[in-house]
Structure 1
Amino acid sequence: MNKNNKKILMICESFGGGVFAYVTQLCNDMVDNFDIYLVYSTRPQTPKNYKEILDPRIHLIEIEHFDVSVNMIKNVRVIKKLRRIEQRIKPDIIHLHSSIAGGMGRLAFKNSEIPVVYTPHGYSFILMRPSVKTKAYKLMEKILGSISNSITLTCSESEDEVAGKLTKRHTYIETGIDLKRLSQSLSKIETQDNKEKFTVFTLGRITGQKQPEVFNKIALLVPEAKFLWIGDGEDRKILTAPNIVITGWKGRNEALAIAKGADAYVLCSRGEAIAESLIENMYIKKVTLVSNVMGNKSVIQDGVNGYVCDTPEDYAKRIKEIMHSYPNNLVNNAYKDVKTIYNSDVMKIKYIDFYERL
């Protein structure tokens, strides 16, 4: 530990999936320049070897029952735990990741003189199907966004536009992936051949956020193509089209092998911060078709580096065009964007500058 380095206290309840990938990469990237403390709570999706993935210089602090509960006594206990941790560590910056940590943390540190950063990783009231609960989440974000010592740091320009309606203090740093690690993984992977049919795929949990009903409609509109969903989830029953194959959950290398052998990547979600799978497939040089929503529309410019679609018919029309003539200029433009914008080297430089200015 360098006594001259600023201390950053990272707090992350949602320690799984895309948030896990983002936070572990950020902690590893920052540990050369700052003393990093990570407060977290494990989930079923948390990799078993997560301690091996994190740099050994990172100080790990695990707390249990770190979730929103109807039992207010439990919530108050978590808030008190966070305050005790902050008092013991005396950080220079507190960075809250995802909505639960963002809610608990902003309440815990609302009277603190320490700068508090909140990264939502996709606002839950946008990602979920509309309901009374999503309206309540949006109201809570507005209330918490008024706390003066916090700044919302989003992962894309369009997510930042949403933040601007919830708080006065906000900015963004684009998500970036580790290209060196991805290149090393790809070099060891043998392409899984899908060439008996033009293959369209997506990746992730089959839930409302990913809009499986839209993916199913696209498949029905393009029966001559094969559609793959790499993943699984509670809404798999929605995927009824006869040309859809649900692969189930695959290890990273096997998922990359399937992606390398496919032709087009579809991301028809309700919203994203920035999906790392989208950036990865841009780098792999797959033509990408995305929904016209938060996150996606910041990365993909329609007809320039991919396609932005509003309806299942839009996706189907573009897929049929791609089957006839593959748009190599688009995939090359997307690849260049990843090399210059959406990579961890660029993200690291921006983060160091952001933390130092705080």
Structure 2
Amino acid sequence: MRIRNLTVQFGDLKAVDDVDLDIGRGEVVALLGPSGCGKSTLLRSVAGLEPEARGSIHRGDVDLTKVPVHKRDIGLVFQDGQLFPHRDVAGNIKFGLRMHKIKDTGPRVDELLDLVGLSGYQRRRVTELSGGEQQRVALARALAPRPELLLLDEPLSALDRALREQLALDLARLLRKAGTAALVVTHDHDEAFTLADRVALMRKGKIVQTGTAEQVWRHPVDEPTATFLGCGLILDAEIRDHVVAFDLGEVEVAWAPDGPARIGLRPHALVADPDGDLQGEVSGRVHRRDHVRLLVKIEHREVDAVASITNAPEPGQSVRLRLDPDGLAVLGDHPGQRE
């Protein structure tokens, strides 16, 4: 799939602004960005549900721009699944097959339910299923006619956090097993990095960066992107022989290129450690599921840090901090970052 110069406009608002994006055969691409940045509009335009103001959408040599929705050979999965409550599981999946005039539906239904881990659910009513099971049925229905491309619009956002994390892992496995190219819209970077072969970051209608999860996480293209990806503090630094030196100290970062740089620090870039080089005073703390997040006053600023649940210091107590390279990002363009 090749998207070129795609623009979607509502009045004076450009919801999608001159976007280029490629999706390879069997590749999963996550379209990641904050709410209102144009992700869902871009997806709906690819599906044919939103008219593009200009640009082109090609699959191979076929220009899909004027092709009706039902002839684009695209599967759709939405946030709420949009299953038919009056049909059982098999009936929902068969609907997708019948829409494509596929008659021998039984074996395909069994195959798809096995793929999504719901073998034996053929006669179950969809209203009796959990939210995660309903999304699996919606995925099976979308995959039923073997589409060239699968579009998923925030498919996990209606689920609770624990179920969302588990289903993201399952969905990543299912998409690769099915071998279908997919474009997944999400505002959750953990979800995007779990699901996708490549991530396309979107802001204000434009794609500002593309790359693998590792590339995007380590090298956000600019400060707003770094902030969106969790960097609460951004500092000037000098990198020499892969050692990052800045006003919080020095730390070896094996993947960092030498030269002057802007460094983004996520909360876990500073870790409570009795042997750490930095010393400060805890001014606040918040419990998370598997750690405690600290606000620490040091000589010249307040910084975020993390501590283990078992020995996290209290507000007012002294704490020593060490730098953890896994919490750092180097801002700026790097090879493989843009389309």
TM > 0.5 fold call: no
**More helix, by proportion:** 1
Instruction: Using structure 2 for the length normalisation, give the TM-score.
Output: 0.29
